[in-house]
Structure 1
Amino acid sequence: MLSLNVKDETSRLRAVVLGTATSNGPTPSADEAYDPKSLEHILAGTYPKNEDMIPEMEAFASVLKKYDVKVFRPEEIKDYNQIFSRDIAFVIDDVFVKANILPDREKELDAIQYIIDQIDPKKVVRPPEEVHIEGGDVMLWNDYIFIGTYKGSDYKEYITARTNMEGVEYIRNLFPHKTVKEFDLVKSKIEARDNALHLDCCFQPVGKDKAIIYKQGFREEADYVYLVNLFGKENLFHITREEMYHMNSNVFSIAPDVVVSEKNFTRLNDWLLEQGFTVEEIPYAEISKQEGLLRCSTLPLIRD
């Protein structure tokens, strides 16, 4: 049996599900794109190919194994995107929450069923249908659960709006002893530079008391100020619109002092080194063309 335990984003990682790019399938057509960044690359003819993404994911797997992390991979579904395992489920404390994802992606849950079978069934939950919530929008920080959402009345028109207020309430009811704080995110169907697809596209804690943040990712300045007050401005690394587009806030922590980052994130990586982090740099630029990066590719199961 797997004894789940995830209370934050940075404690020492012991077990994780890492997505796979072994059979990602042909380049989708423009009307099949789930987000503006994928669309941009489909139209430009620069959408990533399997053979370019597999080495990136394997580089990530090698770093995880170097730190003795138990790495699970989804069973392969032919010609199907299974890279972003964070979208399909997430763990809070010792509870495994299955996400109500876009209906076309349901098969991705089937591909990790062999892992779910190793968890106490009483600890596996599936929200009711009206609840939309994806793992990229759920972030744990001690007694807080931060959740990205979109409060616009046009929610239904945005394929980029992945977590609704019913999702926030569902988590609030499931974990009444935690402080659940939602953040209203900026969404765009057409401009990837103005689309915070998930909360981890504009914010993520690192270490014990620091975080990476993109101010313009929040629709309400009050939400940004809330985080500044919580973390302290001196502990926040502010990224630019272009850095947000390249997913600089979507790094991944293996331990409080170890961060896996993309090798081109020069400014961020320099800052992390200055703060005393060990930075494991890997190539991940091809995968980022699908508006997801390192955190999106992982589903942590056990942290110390």
Structure 2
Amino acid sequence: MTRRLTAVLAFALTLVAAPTLARDVSHELGTTTVPDLPKRIVVLEFSFIDALASVGVAPVGIADDNKRERVVPAYTDIIGTDWVSVGTRKTPSLEVIASLQPDLIIADKKRHSTAYDTLSEIAPTVVFDSLGGDYHGSVAQMSAIGTAIGKGAEMDARVAAHQEKMAAYTDLIKPKAQGLSAQFGVANAKGLWLHSPASYNGSLLAMFGFSSRMTPDGDDGTFAKTYVPTTLEQLSQVDPDILIFGEYSDPSFVDGWAGDALYTGLKAVNEDKVFYVTAHNWSRLRGMLAAELTASDLVSILSASE
């Protein structure tokens, strides 16, 4: 811990009495005792905003990548805009987090495990696998977060409503998805990353009945990687029936493939089944709202594919 962070933390502790610790919450890195009803919550991933907004709780700090507009209106309509940015999701500022005097921090396993001990010195910290997890794990996290913030019943109701909505989407999508392979990937100016079946979006596509033509990369025949950097040559080997891109830049890396024989030879390109979606919604949010937005987009994609 830096000297500055130590000083900030010591000052924060002189301003607030220790909260009454009353609830044990199991998470990816163990069990943490949290306040009965935490009031000053800091979240370090967008899916955790989704969880809090689902039960009408506003965080005091958000790792918003220093871009407040990335917190979508569907969330700000509920949580407002008074949160303090604690920096990027990858490397949030521990000093800013400490200055907010949080009584609960919700962190990501892949991004923040190495900082867990320091975060836990600042406030009780629970850790879930947002970045590296799949859709089903994301929904399970919602229930655990509901318990952590003392809103278990309210979260159970939101999860039930979400599952009902997703079941209705599945009934619409699955009959049309049978026998089709679909692939989602995100592109920026430097490259393309395909989302494997182990990823949030890959598991959603599988749930809706789409197959994947990606080759397993794990020793046991499973997918070890969630986000796979991919060349045009590698994409041509996957060659899905439906290709879905989310672009983070304009122009993006894949735009440079226009006219390339290998690209125009892709089945999805030949059959006009290449679709563009909002990358932020599909790739970064990873909460219940994200799943519902993805399902709505897939209904439109399949309609346009007919």
Q: Give TM-score scaled by structure 2 length.
A: 0.27
| Bigger share in helix | 2
**Higher RCO (CA-CA < 8 Å; seq separation 6+):** 1
